Amino acid sequence: MMISKRLSELRKKRQWSLQYIADQLNIAKSTYAGYESGYRQPSLEAVKELATLFGTTTDYLLGATDEEQPSIELTRPTVRLTVDGEAVTEDEIIQLIAFIRAKRDIENKK
């Protein structure tokens, strides 16, 4: 089971105890231990809470992606980008990409 493996890896990476996570979720330590061992399956709500606690996505926990932190490729955005609630235009994205590339070039020449 992918979720049990991912939960165990994330917990160990953060050096959190089983009890700490159980306390954060207001569940018994044995319940959370069951999630990691694969003996129990967390509810959809629990998966959502676990993703929030670990700062990752439900897709990562469930094995739909291998990216612990989601990323957006600005040169090919697949989502609507906003700044301060206002849509980012294509021209603004092009300018942002140019700025980032120029800044990286300057930093790499140091």
Residue 34: helix, strand or coil by DSSP?
Answer: helix
| pTM recorded for the entire structure | 0.69
9 and 57 both lie in a single domain: yes
Q: Given this model, what pLDDT does residue 28 score?
A: 97
57 and 81 both lie in a single domain: no
52 and 100 both lie in a single domain: no
What is the count of structural domains for the chain? Answer: 2
- The domain containing residue 23 runs over which residues? 3-62
Residue 67 lies inside a defined structural domain of this protein: no
| pLDDT tens per residue across all 110 residues of the chain | 789 999 999 999 999 999 999 999 999 999 999 999 999 999 999 999 999 999 999 999 999 988 888 777 888 777 788 899 999 988 998 899 999 999 999 999 87
Taking each helix axis as running N to C, give the angle between helix 29-37 and helix 18-25, from 0 to 180 degrees, rounded to the nearest 10.
110
Give 104's contacts (C-beta < 8 A, 6+ positions apart): none
Q: Given this model, what pLDDT does residue 67 score?
A: 86
Q: Given this model, what pLDDT does residue 70 score?
A: 78
**What's the CATH code of the domain at 12?**
1.10.260.40
> Residue 69 has which token pair?
């932190």
